[in-house]
Structure 1
């Protein structure tokens, strides 16, 4: 996908303190003992995200990119390292402390079909987190109307059920739910991978517009370099649980230095059959060279 007028603009390295800072993060899965070793899903991972910035984390399936997001959300235990959100260490936060973070830390999941309760209307889905925070019914409904307008859904959408919407519309509803309490950081875990290309572009443009208006930060997780290039200010490439390359989005996605990132770039399909054949040959040669 090529950039549009709403493409993410560069963010200077200097500026406000990071809203998220991950330092030397390591995560092991599975018990160790009796000759067995725990599987190290992440090893010495460090990254940060500043207000109003998008950090894209890109890698193939099994690389550990989603595990980073799950660790920040407290969904997997941290073996070692530090996760600081809004100036507070949260790697070992209690369930009560996690609930207190919900206003400022939200997530948009990959599958828009399973992330919404099919038995609730859209208004109920969106007012639920507001009412849980003590917001009264009338202002909560006003906030829902505002959110539906922000994500470009009809005003009567609140009275309908999730099954009445397309995949792209459901993902916009999921984005609206993440924004209900004006968070400081949204973790976007493959939010466009289940969508067709046209709908992907619409959702990415919507995320960029919301960021420009609200200064929300995104940790954007994807396996697609083209998607990451379109929305991210900076990119971190992860391979086998380790960050192998990071830097400005244009630099990493157009002139990568690490062989793994080069392979990711060459694996992206292009419309020209001759150019695609050249890419396949170059990728095979790169794999052969790096496997020796």
Structure 2
């Protein structure tokens, strides 16, 4: 991780955040997040890692106002946002954006790339000339050709579509981007190029990332700090090297054992060790 994070106070803070969903057929509500405390500092990447169903995506959705917070507070740049009105949420989109897992479903298939990138700019009152210039700059920023603006999402590969999604997230020059499993739908080679692009963008713009993933090896290469979530609770937080090389919580150790390796015997040993550790948490 080459980017140096700012030592200043948090840009985003979650304090004792609880989220619950209605149960089926009059059953009690299911508590998905159970007292989450997290901070993301300016220009920092906080990696949030956990298995499927751990609650990591729900944290991102709560930050974006897509699910209601039952209790606790979420603040952005000192302003409480978990109770923000719809109008305030629209205004916050200038500073707070998201990159979703599947770039194909997150892009409108009937809009050209240029129209997709123009939408947030026009919504914020940009004139036609400034919008065209910004679209050209965004395509260059994500290493796509200028003529990409005239094409539809289906004409691109998965990696190229994710570049378009990144460009859209950057359109309004946000200060923080929630990256929700942004490379998990891509092959390994393409994953590496997209991760390198995100690091390059952060180096040049000082944007902060909340990087959500199930893959601790990906989080390790992207993050200044790492938070591990298990069954709706943060079980370990610390500097990236500390958490990924010397984990303290048994669950974090099982995530490390889940990382694939080329050696069949080592993979078998890890599988056995993971199964043995499952009863520790």
Q: TM-score range by the shorter chain?
A: over 0.9
Which of 226, 241, 249 aligns to 1:235? It is 226
Q: Tell me the C-alpha RMSD between the 2 structures.
A: 1.5
How far does the alpha carbon of each residue in 1:179-200 deviate from its partner, in whole angstroms, 9 at most, with x for none?
0010010000000010000100
How far does the alpha carbon of each residue in 1:51-81 deviate from its partner, in whole angstroms, 9 at most, with x for none?
1100010000000000000000001010000
Asked whether 1:125 is paired with 2:119, we answer: no
Deviation at 1:286, TM superposition (A): 1.4
The correspondence of residues 30-109 of structure 1 with structure 2, limited to 5 A, is: 30=22, 36-109=27-100
Asked whether 1:251 is paired with 2:247, we answer: no
The correspondence of residues 246-285 of structure 1 with structure 2, limited to 5 A, is: 246-285=237-276
How far does the alpha carbon of each residue in 1:227-260 deviate from its partner, in whole angstroms, 9 at most, with x for none?
1001010000000000000101111112211000
> Using the alignment, how far apart are the partners of 2:103 and 2:95 within structure 1?
21
Deviation at 1:287, TM superposition (A): 1.9
Any conservation in 1 of the 2:113–2:150 contact (CA below 8 Å)?
A: yes
The residue aligned with 2:129 is: 138
Which of 211, 219, 231 aligns to 2:210? It is 219
Any conservation in 2 of the 1:26–1:42 contact (CA below 8 Å)?
A: yes
> Using the alignment, how far apart are the partners of 2:24 and 2:142 within structure 1?
46
Asked whether 1:11 is paired with 2:11, we answer: no
Deviation at 1:11, TM superposition (A): 3.4
Any conservation in 2 of the 1:185–1:217 contact (CA below 8 Å)?
A: yes
The residue aligned with 1:20 is: 12
TM-score, normalised via structure 2 length:
0.97
Any conservation in 2 of the 1:26–1:81 contact (CA below 8 Å)?
A: yes
> Using the alignment, how far apart are the partners of 2:183 and 2:247 within structure 1?
23
The residue aligned with 1:3 is: none
Any conservation in 1 of the 2:3–2:199 contact (CA below 8 Å)?
A: no
TM-score, normalised via structure 1 length:
0.93
Which of 148, 164, 167 aligns to 2:155? It is 164
Any conservation in 1 of the 2:19–2:68 contact (CA below 8 Å)?
A: yes
> Using the alignment, how far apart are the partners of 1:260 and 1:244 within structure 2?
8
The residue aligned with 1:112 is: 103
Give the SS at the match of 2:106. Answer: coil
The residue aligned with 1:185 is: 176
Deviation at 1:30, TM superposition (A): 0.5
Which of 194, 210, 228 aligns to 2:185? It is 194
Any conservation in 1 of the 2:5–2:41 contact (CA below 8 Å)?
A: no
> Using the alignment, how far apart are the partners of 1:10 and 1:134 within structure 2?
34
Deviation at 1:168, TM superposition (A): 0.4
Any conservation in 1 of the 2:5–2:42 contact (CA below 8 Å)?
A: no
Deviation at 1:270, TM superposition (A): 0.3
Any conservation in 1 of the 2:3–2:203 contact (CA below 8 Å)?
A: no
Give the SS at the match of 1:114. Answer: helix
